[in-house]
A and B are shown apart, each in its own frame.
Chain A
Amino acid sequence: MATYRDRGIVLRSFDLGEADRIITFMTEGRGKVRAVAKGVRRTKSRFGGRLEGVRRTKSRFGGRLEVTNHVELTLYEGRSLDTITQADLLEHFRPVRENLDRLARVMPLLEVVDAVTFEGRSDPRLYHMLLGAIRALAEADAPLIVPAFFWKLLAHEGMRPEVACCASCGREDDLVAFELTEGGVLCRRCRRGTRLSPEALALLRRILGGQLVSVLGEGPSTAGHEVEHLATTALEHLLERRLRAAGALGGTQ
């Protein structure tokens, strides 16, 4: 059977049968890939330490296929699901795994990437976007990473909103509202949808205007919450379903 190699980020995993798992990756070359990791749930081997000194089968994966890990994979193609034959850890992002705030921020990113991608459609740019976001989080906590990533993703999916002038009449000042179905921000006369504060508008412009790095260095703010809420609503509109990860750990912030 045909084997191939690729590198990818673990988005999520489901248990399958006794000891296997189905792992979803965002890969560089093949977009979203779902593949089976056989025996991955056994701590070490079929026999653990109980048969110390006796021949034992070794699980090839250990903690390599944990969610958020960046791995180099060898897989062979199956009829419906591919099977992972080898996985090497490229990056494990421990600072993200071991900090509740950062973990709470990375989960919505993984969820939306899983939701917007299809198997068999390659999207190296999105893979690099996700990798860059996780790397940034591993480097330092960035409260605005979720809204920034969501807006970048919407732009990438062809839903870049108009933020320079009123999407309806083209007026450049007095922009007070946001409505995605109108195409972006709206002035006082054309206003519809959600109210938009001047601070949130400025933040949105910076996110979409190539000032991402400075945005990620900022702490939480009301404008940040506003922009995140707008982004979540827009993504939910695009996906036609609710996003779950964003609120699940919300009580701890």
Chain B
Amino acid sequence: MYAAPVQKLIDELGRLPGVGPKSAQRLAFHLLVVPKEEAERLARAITEMKERVAFCSRCFNVSEAPECEFCTDTRRDPQVICVVEEPHDVVAIEKTREFRGRYHVLQGAISPIEGIGPDQLKVRELVARLEPEEITEVILCTNPNIEGEATAMYLGRLLKPLGVKVTRIASGLPVGGDLDYADELTLGRALEGRREVEAP
């Protein structure tokens, strides 16, 4: 349909997650009309990222160095690990400024229907960290959907017998939410996880 290089770009863009053929076409034509420097900047950003960024050898977060900034930061609590599914979850937790421990990125979640089991995730690597790093608490911070819950339950069963404290993030109502909009599953859990009010 289009000149070969344009079609090639459309095909490549169309492979990206969340980009369908129409979006790919729109992006390709946008890149066709922008100044050359702008397009080159994008191309450079991609190659530079692929060349310079890899995964932290300890926690499997994205990192420029062999070990990421969280694993090498001595001000962080080295004995508490927060287990997340993806590197972008690390960013979400960091934004809260509530956590000062270290991370472990599983690089996915258990999904029986997709055929993804514990062996495809960085589970063995997590277990291997417990003893040498003298970990006292593992916080299971996977998503509260079926895959994340399955992963958390699996890890709970695996880690508990090893004598480490295993906790799961709370699940309930989002700040600013309305009770009558909450679904029964969420509200039920929020009730179950209630806390005693402390005297102000």
Contact = CB atoms under 8 A, between A and B. Distances in A.
B162 interface: no
A94 B185 contact: yes
Interface residues of B, number: 30
Interface residues of A, number: 49
Best-surrounded residue of B118, B183, B186 (most CB of chain A within 10 A)? B183
Contacts of B154: 100, 249, 252
Contacts of B110: 248-249
Contacts of B188: 92, 94
B145 interface: yes
Interface string A92-109: 101001111001100110
A240 interface: no
B112 A62 contact: no
A62 B186 contact: yes
B185 A89 contact: yes
A230 B184 CA distance: 39
Contact of A111 (B18, B113, B145, B178): B113
Contacts of B117: 247-251
A43 B153 contact: no
Interface stretch (B33-41, B55-63, B64-72, B169-177): B169-177
Contacts of A247: 117
A66 B174 contact: no
B51 interface: no
Contacts of A246: 112
A213 B112 CA distance: 26
Contacts of A43: 174
A39 to B, nearest CB: 13
A251 to B, nearest CB: 7
* Residue in A18, A52, A62, A98 with the greatest tally of chain B CB atoms within 10 Å: A62
A245 B177 CA distance: 35
Contact of B112 (A49, A89, A97, A244): A244
B116 interface: yes
B196 interface: no
Nearest to A58: B181
B163 to A, nearest CB: 19
Given A89-B183, A244-B112, A249-B110, A58 B178 contact: yes
Given A249-B112, A251-B118, A66 B185 contact: yes
28 contacts: A17-B18, A49-B174, A49-B175, A51-B176, A52-B175, A58-B178, A63-B144, A63-B185, A64-B183, A66-B145, A66-B146, A67-B146, A89-B184, A92-B183, A94-B188, A98-B149, A100-B150, A100-B153, A100-B154, A103-B153, A104-B112, A110-B113, A244-B113, A244-B114, A245-B115, A248-B116, A250-B117, A251-B117
The 5 closest A-B pairs by CB, nearest first: A49-B175, A244-B115, A245-B112, A248-B112, A44-B174
Interface of B: 18, 110-118, 144-146, 149-150, 153-154, 157, 174-178, 181-186, 188
